[in-house]
Amino acid sequence: MTTPLGPGPEFDRIRRIWGRLGKRVAGAGDDCAIVEMGGTRMALSMDVSVERVHFNLGWMSPAEIGYRAAAAALSDLAAVAAIPKGILVGLGVSGEWPEEHVAELMDGAGNAAQSVGAVVWGGDLVQSDRVIVDVAVVGEFDGAPVLRGGATAGDGLWVTGALGGPKAALDAWMNGREPEASARDRFVRPVPRAAEARWLRDRGAKAMIDLSDGLAADAGHVAAASGVQCMLDADRVPRHAAARELMDALVSGEEYELFVAMPESFGEVQAVEFVQQFGAGLTRIGSAREGRGVVVERKGKPIRMSGEFRHF
């Protein structure tokens, strides 16, 4: 673990565990491990999804479960501006699950891979009374990786897309309601911003992360890794139509949008080009400055963040 993580008990735990591995661990600590093999620089990551921890079977079809799990893992490659190449899918399902469902789930994972130009290289299929989907992803680079630790004071802080949809969907499900279609879609079909990330890298992106823990928490990881303070203007954070409160957009996790520190010279003109090219928004929501941690301001005054995103 070479890159400091932001604060929080979960991150403390991971930090201590990686710390014990000492010399046997290499490359970990960012969104991906970045390693050299035979002269090729690769990015690798793994994402485990467990039924009743990350999703419920009643919420999504098998194809959607597979799509979402693979897209979430592929988003880690996007976060370092890697080109997704292949995935391995480890699948645990009960012996009573119809084979058709297993095939649909793999189909969904294959579609997510295909959406960013990657393929399924293999995997494993085992018995488990809870559905488990574990996706390992491998990418390569056509330029420098963008890590969490490169932001410096003065950088503009930007975010892709609009935030809060996944939280709105989760809140609905947790309260026994069916989510709005657009919020549900953000949860079940996250878009790995792979091409977008490389576009941003080519325009000088200095630090980047994909939003899996929520904007406030993930900005904290960038702040910790870069040794800066991330000042976020809450009023500028683009909110998904289904997000009821501002705070929802700040803490909604599993967004898989990009939070990126761009040089000050990067401005609205380039942001418009981004929107034209990718159809997704790119919004400046703050600045990096001297200091540490994350400060969220509203109308120029810091607000208290209550709670962080946690898995339900």
Interface residue list for a copy of itself (CB under 8 A)? 13-14, 16-18, 20-21, 23-29, 32-33, 35, 37-42, 44-50, 53-54, 85-86, 88-92, 99, 102-103, 106-107, 110-111, 113-114, 119-130, 132, 134, 136, 138, 140, 311
Nearest CB to a copy of itself, comparing residues 21 and 241: 21
DSSP string, 156-223: EEEEES-B-HHHHHHHHHHTT-PPPHHHHHHHHS----HHHHHHHHHTT--EEEE-SS-HHHHHHHHH
Residue closer to a copy of itself, measured from CB, 56 or 152:
56
Residue indicated by tokens 């963008």: 146
Closest approach of Cβ 211 to a copy of itself, in Å? Answer: 17
Sorted by sequence, the CB contacts under 8 Å of residue 192 that are 6+ apart come out as 71, 74, 75, 77, 78, 84, 112, 115, 116, 256
Whether the CB-CB separation of 109 and 70 falls below 8 Å is answered with yes
Other beta carbons within 10 angstroms of residue 30's beta carbon come to 25
Complex with a copy of itself: residue 177 or 311, whichever CB lies closer: 311
Q: How far apart are CA 184 and CA 280, in angstroms?
A: 18
Nearest C-alpha neighbor of 205 from the set 238, 239, 160, 272: 160
- Tell me the closest approach of the beta carbon of residue 223 to a copy of itself, in angstroms: 21
User: Among residues 210, 230, 235, which one has the least CA distance to residue 219?
Assistant: 230
Give the nearest distance from C-beta 170 to a copy of itself in angstroms: 16
CB nearer to a copy of itself: pick between 298 and 311: 311
At residue 101, the 3 state secondary structure works out as: helix
* Minimum CB distance to a copy of itself smaller for 127 or for 277: 127
Based on CB atoms, which residue is closest to a copy of itself, 66 or 286?
66
Q: Looking at beta carbons only, is 2 or 277 nearer to a copy of itself?
A: 2
Q: How far is the CB of 10 from a copy of itself (least distance, A)?
A: 8
| Contact predicate 34/80, CB 8 Å | yes
In angstroms, what is the minimal distance from the CB of 149 to a copy of itself?
16
* Spatial separation of the C-alpha atoms in residues 76 and 31, rounded to whole Å: 5
Q: State the nearest-atom distance from the C-beta of 201 to a copy of itself, in Å.
A: 18
* DSSP 8-state symbol, 24: G
CB nearer to a copy of itself: pick between 28 and 246 = 28
* Euclidean distance between the first and the last CA atom of the chain, given in angstroms as a whole number: 27
Report residue 186 as tokens. Answer: 């953000």
Helix (H/G/I), strand (E/B), else coil: 52:
coil
Closest approach of a copy of itself to the CB of residue 243, in Å = 25
Select 194 or 296, whichever has its Cβ closest to a copy of itself.
194
Which two structure tokens, joined as six digits, stand for 305?
């963040």
Residue 268: both structure tokens together: 């609205």
What tokens were used for 219? 């900005």
CB of 49 to a copy of itself, least distance (A): 8
User: Rounded to the nearest whole angstrom, what is the least distance from the CB of residue 216 to a copy of itself in the complex?
Assistant: 21
